[in-house]
Amino acid sequence: MAKAMVIDDSRAIRMILARTLREVGYEVCEAANGKEALALLQQHHGEFSLVLVDWNMPEMDGLEFVRQVRSEPGWSGTTLMMVTTETELDQMMTALEAGADEYVMKPFTKEIITDKLRLLGAIQ
């Protein structure tokens, strides 16, 4: 079973996204911030094929997380999708240029998440 990680400082958002990912066949791990998530990536090196990450979090925000992941060649195959309240076009471009594969604005629906996952080839 493919593994995914959901990174968000909101427990409720983590639960919603994790449920959606489990319904489409992922084993899911959760983290409350980028720093915690990086530690999990290092601990389970190469196991996560998909990461959904919020932008605004304490300790390490999602943009810094994306930059850190993309700076490591061993994680180049990990699909990164930002799921955030940041709605400005400039911020979307910044995230995509930093290495995010896709960008979803909150609030979102289950259909939006699954459509983006299909677009990325992460689900059938």
Position 45 scores a pLDDT of: 83
d(CA 57, CA 110): 22
Mean pLDDT of all residues in 103-123: 95
pTM: 0.96
- What is the tens place of the pLDDT at every residue in 64-88? 999 999 999 989 999 999 999 999 9
Position 106 scores a pLDDT of: 95
Position 111 scores a pLDDT of: 96
Where do the domains of the chain lie, and which CATH numbers do they carry?
Answer: 3-120 (3.40.50.2300)
Q: For helices 62-70 and 34-43, give the axis angle rounded to 10 degrees.
A: 30
Position 9 scores a pLDDT of: 97
d(CA 122, CA 62): 20
| Sheet strands side by side (includes 102-105) | 27-31, 3-7, 48-53, 79-84, 102-105
For residue 112, name the pLDDT band (cuts at 50, 70, 90).
Answer: very high
Mean pLDDT of all residues in 78-99: 96
Position 47 scores a pLDDT of: 92
Find the farthest-apart pair of alpha carbons in the chain and give their distance in angstroms, rounded: 36
